[in-house]
Amino acid sequence: MSQSLWLIPAWLLTVVLVFGLSNCRPSVTPNAPEVKGKLFIIGGGKRGAELVNRMIKEAGLDKGGYVYILPMASELADSAVIWAGEQFLQANVQAIAASDFDSPEDMTPQRLDSVAAASLIYISGGDQRRFMEKVRNTPLQYAIYQAYRNGALIAGTSAGAAVMSEWMISGTELNYPEYNSTFLHLEHDNIELDTGMAFFKSAIIDQHFVKRSRYNRLISAIALHPDKIGIGIDESTAILVHHDSAEVIGESQVIIFAMKGSVNWSPEGKIGMKNLRLDIYLPGEKFYIGAHVP
């Protein structure tokens, strides 16, 4: 495996991953008034032509620029790059780069500049914790923020969707260590949350939502942070976030939970909630997400 920047020519799709990591803390966050970028948050599953073409349009790739794929959430980074890269190539996007930043030696200023200058940064699926362990408090995180502030589209699917918000669902039930794709309980202090990329602070994202019936999981997160809204994005569906609004794009629905009342618990730790609002949005509809640029 070569350790040089991977650029995909239109006639060949090969995998060359770049590794790099640093302990330097980023000096800025994306939450600044001058942010010009947008977010494209996909709930996992198949990415149809509608989603790919909308990413290309919103990123301005039909006029130039390039895609930068970040596959660090995946155990099989090369496969993640190939799958995402093929879809962009099929949509006639010729300029594609990818890196798996994993060692200090390979996180060079040149490679970070390439991330910061990208028109579209695409974060693959896999394990959101794996992605954040490699990115959190590194120069790469700063480079992604810089791209976002300058007008790039930051896109992610599945795990790449989970990392978008300030609080990130890891998927772990703390009281029940055996993994289930959804939660089987509604209990206090049962959900593990970690810090994500914090492109916005007003909501918590969950993915594969309707398909995997993840209502208990997102409700548990909102019970822990009742000041946030919960956004459950189904498969083959995305939200395009720009400033304080989000548009639903794709094949299925987006479920919104908003806590309008109170949260309490039984002596056994079962969650009680009063006046929990639920809205279901269809493709083409928009909703208020709260200003992610304070």
27 is a catalytic site residue: no
Catalytic residue among 158, 165, 236, 252: 158
Whether 184 contacts 214, CB under 8 Å: no
Confirm whether 74 is a catalytic residue.
no
Bridge partners, 272 (sequence order): 264
Question: How many whole angstroms separate alpha carbon 121 and alpha carbon 176?
Answer: 35
* Strand arrangement of the beta sheet that strand 203-207 belongs to: 203-207, 229-233, 254-265, 271-281
Catalytic residue among 165, 220, 235, 292: 235
- Nearest CA to 174 out of 161, 183, 165 is that of 183
DSSP character for 125? S
Distances (CA, A) of 151 to 34, 38, 102, 111, 251: 10, 7, 26, 19, 27
Residue at 233: amino acid letter = I
Residues 270, 3: Cα–Cα separation, whole Å = 51
Q: Is residue 13 within 8 Å of residue 89, measured between CB atoms? A: yes
Contact 120/68 with Cβ under 8 angstroms? yes
Catalytic residue among 188, 208, 242, 292: 208
For residue 75, count CB atoms less than 10 angstroms from its CB and return exposed for 0-12, middle for 13-18, buried for 19 or more: exposed
Task: Give first-to-last CA distance, the chain, whole Å.
Answer: 42
235 is catalytic: yes
DSSP for 20-69 reads ----PPPS--S-STT---EEEEE-SS---HHHHHHHHHHHTTTSS--EEE
Q: Which residues are known to be catalytic?
A: 158, 208, 235
